[in-house]
Chain A
Amino acid sequence: MSLPRLLAGIDDLPMDQRRHTSVHGELPRWRATELLAELERSGLRGRGGGGFPLALKLAAVRRGGSSPVVVVNGTESEPMSTKDRLLMWCAPHLIVDGAVALADAIGAAEVIFCLDELEPRIHESLHREIGERAEGRRLTMGIVATPGGYVTGHESAIVHWHDDGIATPLPNPPRVSERGVRRRPTLVANVETVAHVALIARHGADWFRELGTEADPGTALITLSGAVADPGVYEIAHGEPLASLLRTAGGASEPIRAFLVGGYGGGWVDAGELPKLRLSRAQLRPFGTRLGAGVVVALGQSACPVAEIARAAEWLSAQSAGQCGPCIHGLGSIAAGMASIRDGDDPPTLDRVARWCELVTGRGACAHPDGVAEFISSALRVFAPELIDHAELGRCDACDASPTLTLSGTHAVH
């Protein structure tokens, strides 16, 4: 089976059980140990942004003790990603299949689906599907609506929200694999990851590895936006050149200045690198970025990168949960620094922003400051000429153009 895999048979409406089975086939029943071995052999990594090997998470939860819980993370709090919403809306049975397989694999009797509270339509449809599927199984499945906010999607923030009604990250250690929902060992897996599990459970690890690269097997969903003719969610094989994805999306709608790869936890890459850019975790590493949750944004040459970055920096600072000092003060300083560069400040502010990026890295309970630091420091590298112009001359004509980067609250299923 070639591409598409996850997006096979998808149109604008939720796929019902009959159509789901005719597209993907029945979900076979596995012995837990065999399914765990198959998932390990597949090399599947998490698709929520961290890219952590699923097999290691599964092993950690199994070490964590009895009565584990599976949490399917559909919060999709990265504002420029819509792939998880698309899967939950269009292919709910695939998500439920994957969740059931994971629950069987680790001996969990409870599955919790987490979903942005602003998605009542997906909530309703998913609710219907899990109602049908839970019948006759010793498995409880429920849905939890999560509040907005960039760090809400962090796995410990989900646990905190579920248990205490507070959607902020928790101290680490302990990890959620040791002590998560109701203090039980908890597997938190992204929606797309869970959908891949549903397909690996059907076709096996060898089939999964037929597409993709040795280091990053399988396919991935990419949410492509910005200066492209046909933005939206695309399924690629890991290792596909970004140039070929752009062609599939109808090409650029104007000359491109740079690409943001990996969203707000990823980094900027100069458009001149396009011929060398391939979409996988390992192949993006030399360019200082990651695939993350599969967000790719093409920034056109008509945009002002400095205004875009300053605006995003302010939003990212406001997204801090406000728990860790270096994050509160550091992201605040970075945002203020970027605003003053945009409005015309002495070039030394550039050095200060670079230093603050180093200073906040690794100093929060979650990786939010680290992600912001990567986003900003890559911008300092790629947009150096524009930043120096702004620092010396102040705002430009493009500063007030309609922004390319989405910040929040504008999600929609396409």
Chain B
Amino acid sequence: MRIEIDPIACDGHGLCAELLPELIALDEWGYPLIADREVPPELEALARRAASVCPTLALRLAPRHRAGQR
């Protein structure tokens, strides 16, 4: 699976970086920086949890290859 952030929805609460520091860090303004968008299988459960606790539902998980993706 792949991590996608909707930058309009994201308000920088930062819960994702706390749950998934292996893949997500926060910039100096508190917004997520994704090290690697592809989630390795061992982190999938944590990634799902990060997506579900995001207060603005800005973090989404998408299938690896998605049509129409830039």
Is this pair of chains taken from one and the same complex? yes
Taken residue by residue from 36 to 70, chain B's Cβ proximity to chain A (1 for < 8 Å, 0 otherwise) reads as 00000000000000000000000000000000111
Given known contacts A325-B29, A325-B31, A326-B31, is B68 in contact with A363 (CB within 8 Å)?
A: no
Interface 1/0 per residue, B18-39 and A, CB below 8 Å: 0000000001111101000000
* A149-178 interface code vs B (CB 8 A; 1 in, 0 out): 000000000000000000001111111001
User: Complex: how many Å from CA A52 to CA B33?
Assistant: 27
Q: What is A's interface to B at a CB cutoff of 8 Å?
A: 60, 169-175, 178, 323-327, 329-330, 359, 363-365
Interface size class of B (residues with CB under 8 A): 10 to 19
CB-CB under 8 A from A326, the residues of chain B are 7, 27, 29, 31
**Which 10 residue pairs across A and B have the least CB separation, nearest first?**
A329-B29, A324-B7, A325-B31, A323-B8, A365-B8, A325-B12, A171-B6, A326-B31, A365-B7, A171-B8
Neighbouring A residues of B6 by C-beta, 8 Å: 171, 365
Residues of A within 8 A of B12 (CB): 325
| Distance of A397 from chain B, by nearest CB (Å) | 35
Residue B15, interface by CB 8 Å: no
- State whether A363 and B9 are in contact (beta carbons under 8 Å apart), knowing that A173-B69, A175-B68, A178-B68 are contacts in the complex: no
Contact of B11 among A169, A173, A325 (CB under 8 A): A325
Q: Which residues of B contact A363 (CB under 8 A)?
A: 7, 31
14 new A-B contacts, CB < 8 A, other than A172-B70, A325-B12, are A171-B6, A174-B68, A324-B7, A324-B8, A324-B10, A325-B29, A325-B31, A326-B31, A327-B7, A359-B27, A359-B33, A363-B7, A365-B7, A365-B8
What residue of chain B has the Cβ atom nearest to residue A328's Cβ? B29
Q: Which residues of A contact B69 (CB under 8 A)?
A: 173
Give the secondary structure class of A's interface: loop
Complex: how many Å from CA A173 to CA B6? 9
- Between A and B, 20 residue pairs with Cβ closer than 8 Å are A170-B8, A171-B9, A172-B70, A174-B68, A175-B68, A178-B68, A323-B8, A325-B7, A325-B10, A325-B12, A325-B30, A326-B7, A326-B29, A326-B31, A330-B29, A359-B28, A359-B33, A363-B31, A365-B6, A365-B8
Q: Which residues of A contact B29 (CB under 8 A)?
A: 325-326, 329-330
In the bound assembly, the distance between CA atoms of A174 and B69 in angstroms comes to: 9
Residues of A within 8 A of B8 (CB): 169-171, 323-324, 365
Q: Give the one of B9, B11, B31 with max A CB within 10 A.
A: B31
CA gap between A170 and B29 in the complex, in Å? 22
How many whole Å from A177's CB to the nearest CB in chain B? 8
Nearest residue (CB) in B for A175 is B68
| Residues of A contacting B7 in the complex (Cβ-Cβ under 8 angstroms) | 323-327, 363-365
C-alpha spacing A309/B19, complex, angstroms? 40
